[in-house]
A and B are shown apart, each in its own frame.
Chain A
Amino acid sequence: MRSITKVCTAAVAVLALSVTATACGSGDSGSGGGGSDKTTITFWDNNGGVRTPIYQELIKRFEKANPTIHVEYVGIPIASVQQKYDTAIAGGETPDVGGVSASYLANLTGQQALEPADDWLAKSPANGKLLDSMLASVKQTAPDGKLYVVPATSNLDVIWYQKDKLSAAGVEAPKTWDEFFAAADKLTKAPDQYGWTIRGGAGSIFQLLAEAYAYSGVTEFFDSAGKSTVNDPKNVELVTKIAALFKKDTPEADVTNDFPKMVAQFTSGKVAMMHHNLGSYNDHVKAFGADKVDAYPLPVGQSGKRTVVANPVDGFSVFKNSKNKDAAWKFVDFLVSKESNSYWNQQAGQIPANKDAQADSWVSERPYLKSAVEVLADPATVVVSPPYYLPQYSSITKADTEPLFQKVLLGQMKPQEFLDTMAQKLTEAQAEWKQSHS
């Protein structure tokens, strides 16, 4: 009895202390280095966790070179970054600098949260050093054609493969789709080994479209009349062929495969080839070792044209609410400089946006990366830009159509009907967007 009374008294005391402490301690998030002369800027990493050590090193270097600026790093988990930005914008508590991907850039520019970078770039040492294709890709996403994200990295869809499994089966890395389908079949020894894995769960549509456009050689997402090309007959053909691989040359569980499950299957050694992008390089190296795994670009279709669906460019934005814009731009300058950009991309295994960084030796030392850079630099390569600028693009290619692709895999829907549905939604969204921007 007494002990309970004591516990209650202690609880009340703790609460009282809490209230007092609350009154005293509040979260100062802005600038001012605690009374010192330092300017503090906040930086939100849009892929916090995996890349935290890379940024910690870069921030250390930046602060050494700029002793009057302190960068406060905040890692935001990738799955929630859009919601975090939305909440921060609504509450007026945005960071000074943030990592932003073109995939949700339209959402941020729609809320007028970002500062255009065009004027800064004109005066920056980075002017002329960043890849034109990446700059164009970012500008295309903004409704006013301005540069709201300073590109830092890009990616390319590739097919990762286990070298020993391919050589044991006497299979060369496929260059055409016919070779690819033959290889997937030859590498399958179910249920111990499968030649291929399909991403049937979250994120399936982007990969499927990358495969479809690589196969069909269609170079635009919309034709001149504004009609989506997603349901082009050649795209339908590819989706039909991919769906036919399900359960034959792929595990049955693929129907719910999201990215982590797909990578887990591949790194467990059960799957010989997997479509993903360059970004999962570190996971494969960790699982197999650098000499056991390699990648080849998506094969070329019958048209002979290499068409590549552009991955969303990732980079840095300065937010409109920033009270220390000069320091913020200085930090962006540093991040896209040759040394920093090279270091970041070397660690992440991706394509640097800085042209000088692309010439660094580590790029040519990694065959998969060298071929990716060559594909993108090849004048014959046609880059198909998905309409990231459409506000509905994310919902159409995720919530609306991912379950439909699962139906296709399970034989409950025809590929033609699936792509027709997606094409209709995209065509409507495009018409709406054009109308509001005319």
Chain B
Amino acid sequence: MATQVIARTPAHARIGAAPGSRKKDPGRVLRLYVPLALYLAFTLIPFYWMIVFALRPAGSTTPIPWPITFEHFDTVWNDIGYAVFFKNSVIVGVLALFSTTVIALMGGYALARFRFRGRTAFMVALLCTQFIPGAMMLIPLFTIFKGLGLINSLWSLVVADTVFNLPLSIILMSGFVAAVPFQVEEAAMVDGCTRMRAFFAVVLPQLRPGLIAVGSFAFIHTWNNFLFALMFISRQDNFTIPVGLSYTIGEYSADFGALAAGGVVAAIPVVCVFAVIQRYLVHGISAGAVKG
């Protein structure tokens, strides 16, 4: 009898995958929710502390931010100059996003669709550039930008960040383009489209997850880049958020309230970007990573 009962039990119920049986499986709590809860606690507690430090008055040691104060936000926004730094970061981030995405789209398409001599070597070279730390390129880039009159200009950051974003972005994008069957493009050309028109009409709409993945990576990398922002800029009004954040730790003093408030302000755009794009991003990363 017992054997019969087991034999009749559906396989998905035995492994705890059936939606209806979720509540009845105590093992599921241990296997899934406990590790997830631990992971969430591990990642969210630092964020919680950041919010606590940002919202509680200086000198307070309570674990709950009460009474709430916004004095630290006032300090970073008005005294430290986040109002200006935030604007600069948005300008640089958005421009680097556009330039990276457009160039990566063109480069990725070429790598995916055309077979030419040195293609593999070019891909390897792109990968190798990822191993060069930005600090090593500082002085050569500084000299080049000086020659171009770009020092102290936000454009130096746009150009430098785009250049450093491009290798990974091109490789990712070529994976997305390769995932779109060439026959679809050919069919459009048979119907009378030029290659360009076929690209815009048939391929581009299918690259939306890729564009979002590459664009968001470019934006976040640019947003967080401290080194270039400090080294290529020597004008107070042109600094960006990461430089502003480092102002809160002085030689002999550290304003933790301002540091936390600055961290919250710096994190908000990144969190918003992830919230909007996360459903595209997961698909985008896996598609770009697997099909190449």
Q: Which residues of A contact B (CB under 8 A)?
A: 1, 4-5, 8, 11-12, 14-15, 18, 21-22, 25-29, 42, 44, 47-53, 72-80, 83-84, 87-88, 90-93, 95, 155, 259-260, 263-264, 267-269, 276-280, 282-283, 286-288
Contact = CB atoms under 8 A, between A and B. Distances in A.
B230 A84 contact: yes
B150 A28 contact: no
Given A259-B252, A280-B252, 6 more contacts: A4-B208, A18-B95, A18-B155, A74-B234, A77-B243, A155-B252
A11 B98 CA distance: 6
Contacts, number: 149
Contacts of B79: 52-53
B99 A286 contact: no
The 6 lowest CB-CB distance pairs between A and B, nearest first, are: A27-B152, A279-B252, A49-B247, A26-B149, A50-B250, A77-B246
Contact of A27 (B150, B246, B251): B150
A33 B211 CA distance: 44
Contacts of A87: 138-139, 142, 231
Contact of A79 (B135, B138, B143, B246): B246
Given A28-B152, A29-B235, A75-B236, A80 B58 contact: no
A78 B250 contact: yes
Contacts of A79: 246, 249
A22 B152 contact: no
Contacts of B135: 83
Interface of B: 58-59, 61, 79-80, 95, 98-99, 101-102, 135, 138-139, 142-143, 146, 148-153, 155-156, 158, 200-201, 204-205, 208, 211, 230-231, 233-236, 238, 243, 246-256
A48 B246 CA distance: 9
A283 B257 CA distance: 11
A1 B58 contact: no
> Is chain B's binding surface mostly helix, strand, loop or mixed?
helix
A78 B200 contact: no
A8 B254 contact: no
Contact of B253 (A50, A91, A92, A93): A50
B59 A95 contact: no
Contacts of A155: 252
A22 B150 contact: yes
Given A1-B201, A28-B152, A83-B231, A78 B251 contact: yes
B158 A18 contact: yes
B230 A80 contact: yes
20 contacts: A1-B200, A4-B204, A4-B205, A5-B200, A5-B204, A8-B102, A14-B95, A15-B99, A18-B158, A22-B153, A26-B153, A27-B149, A49-B246, A72-B236, A78-B251, A83-B231, A84-B231, A91-B143, A264-B254, A279-B253
B153 A75 contact: no
B102 A77 contact: no
Contacts of A83: 135, 231
Contacts of A78: 249-251
Nearest to B135: A83
A91 B139 contact: yes
Contact of B102 (A15, A282, A288): A15
A286 B98 contact: no
Contacts of B146: 91-93
A21 B154 CA distance: 11
Nearest to A284: B253
B155 A260 contact: no
Nearest to A268: B61
Contacts of B138: 87
A42 B233 CA distance: 13
A26 B135 CA distance: 23
B155 A21 contact: yes
A254 B101 CA distance: 46
Given A27-B151, A27-B153, A28-B152, A77 B230 contact: yes
A8 B246 contact: no
- Of the candidates B205, B230, B248, the one having the most CB atoms from chain A within 10 angstroms of its own CB is B230
Contact of A29 (B98, B234, B248): B234
Contacts of B236: 72-75
B241 to A, nearest CB: 13
A90 B80 contact: no
A79 B101 CA distance: 33
B155 A25 contact: yes
Contacts of B153: 22, 25-27
B250 A47 contact: yes
Given A51-B250, A88-B234, A93-B151, A264 B256 contact: yes
B235 A72 contact: yes
Contact of A277 (B101, B200, B243, B252): B252
A133 B233 CA distance: 36
Nearest to A13: B98
A34 B155 CA distance: 21
Given A75-B247, A80-B230, A15 B98 contact: yes
Given A22-B155, A84-B230, A260-B249, A12 B102 contact: yes
Contact of B59 (A22, A50, A263, A267): A267
Contacts of B204: 1, 4-5, 8
Contacts of B247: 48-50, 52, 75, 77
